């Protein structure tokens, strides 16, 4: 996709020409550079004027930039036959670029490119896809992949693996994509035209230093879509009430209808405050990658699959998804572009994750975990038992 200046045949360094164009369209050089550098469409008025000056139809500019408004999409859709003929049919050459490195009774781990592996997976066979791709933040991964590509290339690459994920997903299967909000806004739009939107889950986590002139980025986005109308499996855990770690009183007002509360806990919401970043060396399998929390993966797998279902994660990293799938008796398929020895080691020693997971799960599906309940009883605070006693 071309940049604005490439379409107008303007050199980004040619300040004189840009100044002149800015003057002609009653805009500023700064605004034009901003559109060009961030791959944004100028406002309608500016676009019309640019079109007039350069003898270009504004729609042509949009098409060459690869940015489509609803009205342009409608026009293209009316002319679909002619356009597809004009473009010709491109043969999609699929090269095999993956090999198996480990196998258990439940799963298979590959080393290589996830799209190459997905090309070999049959349509509609996977129950859950969870993807935590690189965020294009110029990080150094052991695979030495380029994590600093252009915005357009990153979106194009993401759409290509999303297409494959959708193809292999069963009807009623769930797809989750973990990314920064700045990327997931694009992918949620793309997915909305292909799957059914369920939730944009905000996972509260400070992931960088405050940025001057911007709100402090403090959540990751977890997109949750389903293929078809509704999920085959949807059983979210119920959460314990939040209580003060010192006085054990509840921290939030849940509406005052205590006796009406479900003793199994509170409905899970779409803002998750309780997912820790994996920093603890005991749980962090490798120092140089974004290993995800076991708690997060457990929640997703529990919510969207049954025992025996097939889970696929195209971006292995340290293998959090595969380890949790293995422990929870789900079938799984995994792949990592870089070395897979860390994942293999983790799967061989899955007892570590299992012990950690058991601790995590002790706190679900009751209003108060055992220890908190006992402390509240000692302090004369209400528990769900107080209501049982009165009935
Ligand atoms: C953010 S990490 C995933 C971390 C993982 N969720 C975990 O908890 O450990 C992304 C991983 O994707 C891998 N990767 C990047 N491109 C890939 C590709 N085309 N195919 C397979 N893996 C890829 C990177 O090497 C990196 O290890």
Residue 113 confidence (pLDDT) above 50: yes
Q: Quote the pLDDT of residue 185.
A: 97
Q: Quote the pLDDT of residue 251.
A: 87
Q: Whose CA is nearest to atom 18 of ligand 1?
A: 113
Q: Which residues contact 31 (CB under 8 A, 6 or more apart)?
A: 22, 42, 46
Average pLDDT over residues 127-135: 97
- The per-residue pLDDT for range 28-43, each reduced to its tens digit, is 999 999 999 999 999 9
- The per-residue pLDDT for range 133-169, each reduced to its tens digit, is 999 988 888 888 888 888 999 999 999 999 999 999 9
Q: Is 283 in the pocket of ligand 1 (CB under 6 A)?
A: no
Residues of the chain with pLDDT > 70, as a percent, come to: 94
CA of 59 to the centre of ligand 1 (A): 37
CA angle, residues 269, 220, 250, in degrees to nearest 5: 40
Q: Quote the pLDDT of residue 263.
A: 87
Residue 391 confidence (pLDDT) above 60: no
Residue 90 confidence (pLDDT) above 70: no
Q: Is 113 in the pocket of ligand 1 (CB under 6 A)?
A: yes
Residue of 97, 316, 332, 333 with the most ligand 1 atoms within 8 Å of its CB, for mutation: 316
Q: Is 367 in the pocket of ligand 1 (CB under 6 A)?
A: no
- The per-residue pLDDT for range 215-260, each reduced to its tens digit, is 988 999 999 999 999 999 999 999 999 899 999 998 888 776 777 8
CA of 87 to the centre of ligand 1 (A): 34
Q: Is 143 in the pocket of ligand 1 (CB under 6 A)?
A: yes
Average pLDDT over residues 123-128: 98
- E-strand ranges in 281-364 read 310-313, 331-336
Whether residue 336 contacts residue 343, with contact meaning beta carbons closer than 8 Å, is answered with yes
Helix locations, 209-319, DSSP H:
294-304
Q: How far apart are CA 164 and CA 16, in angstroms?
A: 46
Instruction: Collapse the DSSP code of 112 into the 3-class scheme (helix H, G, I; strand E, B; otherwise coil) and give the result.
Output: strand
Residue of 315, 318, 339 with the most ligand 1 atoms within 8 Å of its CB, for mutation: 315
CA of 158 to the centre of ligand 1 (A): 13
Q: How far apart are CA 49 and CA 8, in angstroms?
A: 12
Q: Is 318 in the pocket of ligand 1 (CB under 6 A)?
A: yes
Which domains does the chain carry? 4-87 (no CATH), 98-361 (3.40.50.150)
Q: How far apart are CA 70 and CA 196, in angstroms?
A: 19
Q: Is 333 in the pocket of ligand 1 (CB under 6 A)?
A: no
Q: Which of 136-145, 178-187, 249-258, 353-362 has the lowest mean pLDDT?
A: 249-258
Q: Whose CA is nearest to atom 26 of ligand 1?
A: 317
CA of 280 to the centre of ligand 1 (A): 20
Q: Which residue has the higher pLDDT, 287 or 205?
A: 205
Residue of 286, 317, 340 with the most ligand 1 atoms within 8 Å of its CB, for mutation: 317
Q: Is 187 in the pocket of ligand 1 (CB under 6 A)?
A: no
Q: Quote the pLDDT of residue 307.
A: 98
CA of 321 to the centre of ligand 1 (A): 11
Residue tagged 């008796």 (tokens): 329
Q: Whose CA is nearest to atom 4 of ligand 1?
A: 317
Q: Quote the pLDDT of residue 281.
A: 60
Average pLDDT, rounded, for the chain: 91
CA of 275 to the centre of ligand 1 (A): 20
Q: How far apart are CA 53 and CA 128, in angstroms?
A: 51
Q: Which atom of ligand 1 is nearest to the CA of 335?
A: 21
Q: Which atom of ligand 1 is nearest to the CA of 130?
A: 6
Report the candidate in 298, 302, 338 with the shortest Cα–Cα distance to residue 318. 338
Q: Is 277 in the pocket of ligand 1 (CB under 6 A)?
A: no
Q: Is 134 in the pocket of ligand 1 (CB under 6 A)?
A: yes
- The per-residue pLDDT for range 50-63, each reduced to its tens digit, is 999 999 999 999 99
Q: How far apart are CA 263 and CA 200, in angstroms?
A: 27
Q: Quote the pLDDT of residue 142.
A: 83
- The per-residue pLDDT for range 280-307, each reduced to its tens digit, is 565 566 555 578 999 999 999 999 999 9
């Amino acid at each position: 996709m071309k940049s604005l200046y490439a379409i107008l045949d303007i050199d980004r360094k040619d300040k004189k020409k840009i100044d002149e164009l800015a003057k002609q369209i009653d805009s500023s050089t700064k605004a034009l550079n901003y559109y060009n550098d961030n791959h944004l469409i100028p406002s309608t008025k500016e676009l019309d004027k640019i079109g007039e000056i350069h003898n270009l139809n504004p729609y042509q500019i949009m098409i060459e930039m690869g940015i489509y408004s609803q009205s342009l999409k409608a026009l293209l859709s009316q002319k679909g036959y002619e356009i597809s003929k004009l473009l010709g049919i491109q043969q999609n050459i699929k090269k095999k670029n993956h090999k198996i490195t480990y196998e258990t009774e439940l799963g298979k781990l590959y080393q290589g490119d996830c799209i190459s592996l997905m090309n070999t997976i049959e349509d509609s066979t996977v129950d859950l896809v969870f993807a935590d791709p690189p965020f294009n933040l110029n990080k150094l991964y052991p695979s030495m992949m380029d994590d600093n590509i252009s915005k357009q290339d990153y979106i194009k690459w993401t759409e290509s693996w999303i297409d494959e994920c959708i193809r292999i997903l069963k009807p009623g299967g769930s797809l989750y994509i973990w990314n920064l909000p700045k990327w997931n806004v694009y992918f949620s739009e793309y997915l909305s035209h292909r799957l059914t939107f369920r939730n944009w889950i905000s996972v509260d986590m400070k992931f960088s230093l405050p940025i001057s002139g911007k709100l402090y980025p403090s959540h990751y986005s977890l997109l949750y879509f389903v293929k078809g109308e509704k999920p085959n499996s949807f059983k979210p855990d119920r959460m314990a009430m939040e209580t003060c770690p010192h006085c054990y009183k509840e921290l939030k007002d849940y509406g005052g209808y205590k006796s009406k509360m479900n003793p199994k806990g509170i409905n899970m919401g779409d803002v998750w405050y309780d997912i820790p970043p994996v920093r603890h060396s005991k749980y962090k399998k490798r120092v140089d990658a974004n290993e995800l929390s076991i708690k997060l993966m457990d929640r997703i797998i529990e919510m969207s699959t049954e025992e025996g279902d097939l889970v696929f994660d195209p971006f292995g990293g340290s293998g959090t998804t595969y380890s949790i799938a293995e422990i929870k008796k789900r079938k799984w398929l995994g792949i990592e572009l870089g070395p897979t020895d860390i994942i293999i080691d983790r799967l061989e020693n899955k007892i570590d994750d299992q012990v950690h997971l058991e601790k995590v799960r002790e706190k679900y599906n009751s209003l108060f975990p055992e220890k908190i309940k006992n402390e509240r009883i000692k302090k004369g605070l209400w528990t769900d038992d107080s209501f049982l006693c009165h009935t």
